[in-house]
Amino acid sequence: MRTSARRKMGRAISPTVIVQTAQPLEPVSNPAVDPNQLFQQLAQEMAQALIQQQQVQPAQNRRNTLTVKEALEEVFENSISEYKLYAMLREGTIPHVKIGAKYLLRRDTLEAWMRQQEQGYQ
């Protein structure tokens, strides 16, 4: 399965979206039970369940070895260009392994490198 297809399948709905898009129900004849309150409570519970699920799942699905494109998306969050990343790899600025013509980067090493870079500017 290709990486992009894998990401699309694993995409979760934001709990905020669920709560914000919850629409009030039509009033019912039984005043003892407020359906709007029940609906809001259900939306809140679903949002909490999604938050808990998202906190557990990312660690399970995260791969440590990344290609350049995956590193751009997942670690650098597309904050630099692909051209710039390749230039930094060629210069040896960013820790990596080169196998043939392919660059491989380790997520944990990149994250540690980024933390180290941040400390240099404080």
Q: Which of 2-16, 29-43, 93-107 shows the lowest mean pLDDT across its residues? A: 2-16
Please state, as a whole number, how many other Cβ atoms lie within 10 Å of the Cβ of residue 46: 15
Give 99's strand partners: 102
What does pTM read for this prediction? 0.50
State the average pLDDT over residues 62-79.
92
pLDDT of residue 45: 87
pLDDT at 6 over 70: no
**Is the pLDDT reported for residue 72 higher than 80?**
yes
For the chain, the domains span 3-61, 65-120
In this predicted structure, the answer to whether residue 101 has a pLDDT above a threshold of 50 is yes
pLDDT at 66: 95
